[in-house]
Homo-oligomer: A and B are copies of this chain.
């Protein structure tokens, strides 16, 4: 009874149903096999067989409790097994790599920040560093005894996700980099086995992180705005990423706001980035500290803390610069809100520490410039996911891919031996 336009093999139906049961247990746990049967419409024998399979693969376990039912035998309760698998997410930024690993319940097992100048390193050295960092993470004690189902890699740029290629990442200086294949090769060569790697845009993955594990988790219409030198948006519409025809959706950094505004790196004037990007903000906020050369990633991190410190102590120049940026940010976001009407826009990255000065003007401009009354119900808030939102999203997306059958399930028994407590 599978809907589709191609011939469906028995195995595909079974795999689809394994995913259905996995999702149902996630949603209802703790729950009995009967509850799974009645929620899915599958018969009890089929459910029992599928549950046995998921248990062998280390994805579902019996909690040891039983359900109280009005009729029939009490059922043994099932839950997700959070001890057997892991997914890794890694975020490439201009001045650091951020990496996290999560379990099947998306709880964070490992979180690391690795300073790394990706722009100077170039794509090949960066791919090697990514592979090394993934390998180190997979070998860390917190992951011992777990099967790593996949690694997600977030990159600030235009990504051809199905091909695993970075089409264009201006802030890294990359173009046409086949990152997925290279990292998978490097992992294989290093003896880490066949770990599927998935590459995607950082703003998209950060938006997915907010949807899966952030303060507004479960909100189907939300946007995440990266606060880095560049400004990008990840937009979720009805719980799905809005990618656009060519993957260019969410390009808000170069919305033209002020025809006579400052020159932008793109060659035009008055783009949102040139008015409210982090580079633009620190140049205005702490002009005496800005070096006479293009800003490096570590320059930016330091200048942000100086700007925040000065604003905190009431420095008029810093406060004024942040407030003006907040206003421009609000004008830019009002466009995003007019076009896509999210429930919430989350400001991420370096916008978070600057939030206290950015938010009032930003919110006022959104209310003033969005046509729908009360900004169409849209709130502007700060992300609580810190500088690793995209890495979190990359890892959480791999767990989601497992749930919906886009990733192969771990083979039965894959991680069982080592998963015995103390067995590592």
Residues of A within 8 A of B (CB): 1-8, 13, 16-17, 20, 24, 27, 38-42, 158, 220-221, 233, 235, 237-238, 240, 242-256, 266, 271, 331, 334-336, 338-343, 369-372, 376-378
Contact = CB atoms under 8 A, between A and B. Distances in A.
Chain A at the B interface: SS class: loop
A340 B242 contact: yes
A414 B386 CA distance: 61
Contacts of A247: 341
Contacts of A255: 335, 338
B20 A3 contact: yes
Contacts of A249: 237, 339-341
Given A255-B335, A339-B335, A4 B248 contact: no
Contacts of A369: 256
Contacts of A13: 1, 41
Contacts of A221: 244-245
A371 B1 contact: no
Contact of A339 (B38, B235, B370): B235
Nearest to A240: B238
A214 to B, nearest CB: 16
Contacts of A245: 220-221, 341-343, 376-378
Contact of A237 (B4, B237, B251): B237
A47 to B, nearest CB: 11
Contacts of A251: 338-339, 341, 370-372, 376
Nearest to A43: B1
B24 A5 contact: yes
Contact of A371 (B8, B240, B254, B370): B254
A2 B1 contact: yes
A341 B371 CA distance: 22
For the complex formed by this chain, how many copies does it contain in all? 2
8 contacts: A4-B39, A242-B242, A250-B339, A251-B338, A254-B338, A254-B371, A256-B334, A256-B369
A415 to B, nearest CB: 27
Q: Which of A40, A158, A248 has the most CB of B within 10 A?
A: A248
A40 B336 contact: no
Given A38-B7, A254-B371, A376 B248 contact: yes
Nearest to A365: B256
A350 to B, nearest CB: 21
Contacts of A17: 1
A175 to B, nearest CB: 11
Would you list the 9 A-B pairs with minimal beta carbon distance, nearest first? A244-B341, A8-B41, A254-B371, A248-B341, A248-B372, A221-B245, A245-B343, A248-B376, A1-B1
Contacts of A6: 39
Contact of A246 (B3, B250, B341): B341
B339 A339 contact: yes
A244 B38 contact: no
Contacts of A1: 1-2, 13, 17, 41-42
A404 B254 CA distance: 40
A4 B41 contact: yes
Contacts of A372: 158, 246, 248, 251
A369 to B, nearest CB: 5
A376 B335 contact: no
A376 B247 CA distance: 9
A40 B253 contact: no
Nearest to A250: B339
